[in-house]
Amino acid sequence: MKVLIVGATGSIGSVILQHVVRRHDVTQVIALTRRLLSDHEIGDKKIKNIVIKDFGDLAKVQDETWEKIQDADALVWAMGTYDLNEEVNLNYPLSFQEEFAKRLLAFPRKREGTKDKFRFILLSGAFVEPDQSRRLYYLWDQRRMKGLLHTKTIEFAEAHRDFWEAFIIRPGGILSGGDTYLNKAVEYIFGRSLAIRSEELGAFVGGLVVHGAQQPVIENLEIVEGGRKLLQEGM
């Protein structure tokens, strides 16, 4: 199975990359980045790096680059910011979905494994608000913008359901650093519905890439429970 990851150099994307690479059923991972990664950053022989300098101008991406990635089975989109950057948080992922879908239609092929649909996984968040009319009391613009991406991603998958499926993962507060007292305290205060450890998220996404899920939108509690189970199984 061949997997693409956008945002693999970020704090969360890098953890997801590590867990996807560990899976024996993933044969290759391509990190799509805006700069060339060093050998140290790549680390594993299953990881390849392809540079797309400007995700806002995909028309300039060479056919040779598309040919290297259009046979992928899944893509994890983990690029994003916490500010009102509309290009990164909305336009980039929507444009990439549209362009990649065109490539899949132009160069159809029989995909390896048990499924034929391309699997798009969007890293969203528990506080993202898809309902654009709902009254919010904090970070309303950021939450609505990412909520619009959530909605449009689901709509895009529905419109291309014969060869495309999308999953929106909505983790709460992501805790890094392992089994620390601080992380334990946060988990105790906020519970499994609003807190998740980065390794649980990474393990869950690794499983989601390979197996998919029953529902397109996946909340924090399901991610925590699924991630913990996979970690216990050594995934």
Instruction: Give the pLDDT means over successive 10-residue stretches in the chain (235 positions).
Output: 95 94 95 90 90 93 93 96 93 96 79 71 95 84 94 97 96 85 79 89 97 96 96 88
- Residue 39 burial class via C-beta count within 10 angstroms: exposed 0-12, middle 13-18, buried 19 and up: exposed
Give the phi and the psi of residue 173 in degrees, each rounded to 5. Answer: -70, 125
How far is Cα 108 from Cα 111, in angstroms, rounded to an integer? Answer: 9
DSSP one-letter string for 82-123: SS--HIIIIIHHHHHHHHHHHHHHHS--PPSSS--SEEEEEE
Give 142: exposed, middle or buried? Use CB within 10 Å, 0-12, 13-18, 19+: buried
Q: Give dist(CA 112, CA 121) in Å, integer.
A: 19
Q: pTM, whole model, 2 decimals?
A: 0.91
The domain segmentation of the chain, as residue ranges, is 2-232
CA dihedral 7, 9, 11, 12 (to 10 degrees): 40
* Residue 99 in tokens: 């362009």
Burial class (CB in 10 A: 0-12, 13-18, 19+), 231: middle
The reported pLDDT for the residue numbered 110 is 52
Instruction: State the pLDDT at residue 106.
Output: 82
3-state secondary structure of 223: helix
Residue count of the chain: 235
Encoded tokens for 142 = 């950021």
Residue 170: predicted pLDDT: 97
Nearest alpha carbon to residue 53 among 61, 45, 44: 61
Return the number of other C-beta atoms located less than 10 Å from residue 101's C-beta. 18
Determine contact, residues 146/80, Cβ cutoff 8 Å.
yes
User: In angstroms, rounded to a whole number, what is the distance separating the alpha carbons of residues 86 and 180?
Assistant: 35
Q: Side chain identity at 92, as an amino acid letter?
A: Y
The fold for domain 2-232 equals Rossmann fold (3.40.50)
Using CA atoms of 114, 20, 80, 92 in order, give the dihedral in degrees to the nearest 10: -40
